[in-house]
Amino acid sequence: MAAPLQTTHLELPANILGTFIDQIKHGSCVATLSAQKPQKFGVHELWSFDIGEAEYVGEGAAKGPSNITVVKRQINPFKFHKTIRVSEEILWADEDTQLQVVQDVTSQIQPALSRALDFGVFHAVNPATGAAVAAMPAPLSATTIAVTRGTGPAFTELDAADSLILAKRYTPSGIALDPAWATVFAGQRVPQTGQKLYPDFHLQTAPTSNLDNHKASVSDTVSAARVIEGGTGVIGFVGDFDKIVWGVQRQIGLKRIEYGNPDGLGDLQRQNEVAIRAEVVFGWAIVSPDAFCKILAAPAPDQE
């Protein structure tokens, strides 16, 4: 068996690759709250239909027309990468050492690639710079259906969001929360006993938790405060997350790069380094933007 780093393009061992793809769900609210759909690589179209209610036909009566609403969305491929440099001496190591390096590198890369899906779906930005990506579809943060956080109990805005979504004839099933809002729920206690009011709610992106009968996931990708300069003001998304269709269009592998300047940090040979790059191609579409409501942070006192 050849050592893991002795080929130009590295396909991860099956046991590592399977775990790596599965763990994409562990760092993404979108992947936690909505199921991955198989996708072919490249641009393709997604069709959805609303045929309304059935018509009663009386005995001997004529049948009327059935009105159908057709929604077409385009799913484009969006590539994200993470490139890590290591000393070229790793190429001289034995097979076990190299395999350990591969595992260590993938464990560092996986969270970044996972979060990239959220930044695309929630905000349509480049996670590395916070800059908007015009090619990406309109993100959830662009919705005009919004509730602003007040000073009352945290569930007040959740109830209001549910009402707005139900009025659009969708069923709110999930909630993605920024940690700032999530900790408000996590800190609430039953006055008489001191027990948690929401015992099934956890301050994690995954595994999935439950918040007031909503499938819940917590991540700072919701607000993108550390990525988008000035922040977004968004602290939550409530909605029917089945209306987000996403998938991995290209299988993940590792590529060893020995020459050139693949990441703008200088010539590899001059610095006695090799680069290890992992890439993932996601495709997604928001089928029904009206199925979601964004929760906005309360304005600062000087902004009121």
* Section 269-273 average pLDDT: 83
Task: Return d(Cα 100, Cα 74) in angstroms, integer.
Answer: 40
**Domains along the chain?**
9-49+70-295 (3.90.1690)
Using the 8-state DSSP alphabet, how is residue 138 labeled?
Answer: P
pLDDT bucket at 1, cuts 50 / 70 / 90: very low
> Which of 280, 202, 272, 285 is closest to 242 using CA atoms?
285
Note the pLDDT of residue 208. Answer: 76
Residue given tokens 């006055």 in the structure block: 191
List, in sequence order, every residue forming a beta bridge with 198; answer none if it has no partner: none
Q: What is the pTM of this model?
A: 0.80
Can you list the positions of beta strands (E) in 63-201?
69-75, 77-87, 146-148, 174-177
Note the pLDDT of residue 189. Answer: 86
Q: What is the mean pLDDT of the chain?
A: 82
Confirm if 43 and 132 have CB atoms less than 8 A apart. no
> Which of 259, 257, 173 is closest to 211 using CA atoms?
173
Helices and strands, number each (H, E), in the chain: 5, 13
Confirm if 221 and 231 have CB atoms less than 8 A apart. no
Assess whether pLDDT exceeds 80 at residue 213: yes
* Section 79-89 average pLDDT: 78
Note the pLDDT of residue 251. Answer: 67
Window from 87-96, 226-235, 237-246 with minimum mean pLDDT: 87-96
Residue given tokens 């641009």 in the structure block: 43
Confirm if 287 and 46 have CB atoms less than 8 A apart. yes
Assess whether pLDDT exceeds 80 at residue 50: no
